[in-house]
Homo-oligomer: A and B are copies of this chain.
Amino acid sequence: MLIYWKPGKLMPLTLEDVARLSGVSRSTVSRVINHDPNVSETTRQKVQEVLDQIGFQPNLAAKGLVSGKTNIIGVVIPTNVIKIFSDPYFPLLLQGISASCNALGYFVMLWLSEPEYERHMITQILHNGLIEGVIIASVPIRDLIVNSLVDSHIPFLMVGRHPLLDVSYLDVDNVQAARNAVMHLVHLGYRRIATITGDLDQISGADRFQGYLNALREAKLPFSQLLVAEGEYSEEGGYKAMQRLIKQKPEAVFIASDMMVFGALRALREADLRIPEDIALVGFDDLSSSAITNPPLTTVRQPIVKMGNLAAEALIEMIETGSTEKKRIIVDTELVVRQSCGAYLSGAALN
Contact = CB atoms under 8 A, between A and B. Distances in A.
Contacts of A224: none
B85 A129 contact: no
Given A117-B102, A123-B1, A127-B12, A59 B55 contact: no
A121 B102 contact: yes
Interface residues of A, number: 58
Contacts of A289: 235, 262
Given A114-B102, A129-B61, A86 B94 contact: no
| Copy count, this protein chain | 2
Interface string A240-266: 000000000000000000000010001
Contacts of A153: 10
A91 B98 contact: no
Given A85-B92, A102-B113, A112-B94, A127 B61 contact: no
Contacts of A58: 128
A27 interface: no
A288 B94 contact: no
B117 A103 contact: yes
Contacts of A95: 82, 85, 112
Interface of A: 1-2, 10, 12, 55, 57-62, 64-65, 70, 72, 75, 82, 85-86, 88, 90-92, 94-95, 98-99, 102-103, 107-114, 117, 121, 123-124, 126-130, 152-153, 235, 239, 262, 266, 269, 287-289, 292, 294
